[in-house]
Structure 1
Amino acid sequence: MSDVKLFGLSGSLREGSSNSMLLREAARLFGPCSYTQADLNLPLYDADAEAETGVPEAVTGLARQIAAADAVLISTPEYNKGLSGVLKNALDWISRTKGSPWKDKPLAVMSAAAGRAGGERAQMVLRGFMVPFRTRILQGPEIHLADCTNQFDESGRLKGEIYQRELTALMDGLKEEIARSSG
């Protein structure tokens, strides 16, 4: 599986984001693969702007990257009991593209948040948002990284053995799902 292409969407634009670090750790624990992270710094979705100028190239490029990936990883922070506006905006834009870049795509979701629930509610909302895209979303193990700013060492690796074990199990499940889709 060394030629596997993983594509990550982080619900945070922040430099040093725990969600971006979690995605990179997931790719590392997946094993040999190529990993690319999406640029979700997109204009706000506006139906009038779309009618006037069409879907922005940044969005159609994002949809092409999703379609070209063997699997997608999404990590979201939790803002006010939901996922980030950045991630929701990206999903809204992607839904406006031609084709179905998400259809039958293996997908692993996770969350990292400062609170003690680790973004559990945001992840639940995200799972619901992915239903119309008809992805093959993994059901577990669920990764809710609590107290996220204290869970990584200086090199960006997860400190906790439990989180490492669960994230490895999620990536093993993703490998199985990719194998099913290519078999």
Structure 2
Amino acid sequence: MSQTRIAVIVGSLRKDSYNQKLALALAHLAPSDFTFEHLRIDDLPLYKQDDDGNQASSVKRLKTEIAAAQGLLFVTPEYNRSIPGLMKNAIDHASRPYGQSAWAGKPAAVVGISVGATGTAMAQQHLRNVLSYLDVPTMGSPEIFLQFKEGFFDDRGHIGNEGTKKFLQGWMDKYVAWIKRHSAA
């Protein structure tokens, strides 16, 4: 059975990041033929167009990892009602130089978790706008706007609440179908 590789882009570097935990917990809900590879984005230089002709080795690595994936999973916190600069920097690097975007045509989904009552709704909407411009077919629903509360993750890093786990399993099932449908095209 061949593996479906998913490139995971998490916009948080915090040591105890809820979004890092969410990305890992979601991978536990996926079928065994799906592999989730967390891409490193913290070593990228700040994007500037002057470097398009001579991209840093970390940028080339990122673009190669994206190209090797059949799908994308963006897991974003919400900073000031938008996506973190870290994530935007990675998106900009991998989309350049113009006409050589690693993102184009890769099916994706956007999720996130926050302590706020609306989860990461605004950040996800901003990210969807960016991905739309980059020709990234992004799963529309179900959307995941999770609010972190104590006990959300169990001591193994899995989803702690059965109702939430059931909801996220349903989301994962639709995500898997979304990736398979778009990567077969």
Q: TM (normalized to structure 2)?
A: 0.88
Q: Contact between 1:118 and 1:148, CA under 8 Å: does it hold in 2?
A: no
Q: Which residue of 2 aligns with 1:108?
A: 109
Q: Contact between 2:25 and 2:158, CA under 8 Å: does it hold in 1?
A: yes
Q: Contact between 1:118 and 1:144, CA under 8 Å: does it hold in 2?
A: yes
Q: Which residue of 1 aligns with 2:153?
A: 152
Amino acid at match of 2:49: A
Q: Which residue of 1 aligns with 2:11?
A: 11
Q: Which residue of 1 aligns with 2:28?
A: 28
SS of 1:7's equivalent?
strand
Counterpart check, 1:96 vs 2:118: no
Amino acid at match of 1:117: T
5 Å-filtered alignment, 1:1-183, equals 3-32=3-32, 33-41=34-42, 42-48=44-50, 50=51, 54-97=54-97, 99-147=100-148, 150-180=151-181, 181-182=183-184
Whole-Å separation in 2 of the counterparts to 1:76 and 1:16: 14
Q: CA deviation at 1:125?
A: 0.7
The unaligned stretches of length 5 or more in structure 1 are: none
Aligned-residue Cα RMSD (Å) equals 2.0
Instruction: Report the structure, 1 or 2, having the larger helix content.
Output: 1
Per-residue Cα deviation, 1:98-149 (whole angstroms, up to 9, x for no partner) = 6332222120110111211111111111111111221121011111121256
% identical equivalent positions: 34
What is the number of equivalent residue pairs in this alignment?
A: 181
Q: TM (normalized to structure 1)?
A: 0.89
Whole-Å separation in 2 of the counterparts to 1:140 and 1:69: 22
The unaligned stretches of length 5 or more in structure 2 are: none
Judging changes above 3 Å, is the alpha-carbon distance between structure 1 residues 55 and 7 closer, same or farther for their aligned structure 2 residues? same
Amino acid at match of 2:18: S
Amino acid at match of 1:110: V
Judging changes above 3 Å, is the alpha-carbon distance between structure 1 residues 39 and 120 closer, same or farther for their aligned structure 2 residues? same
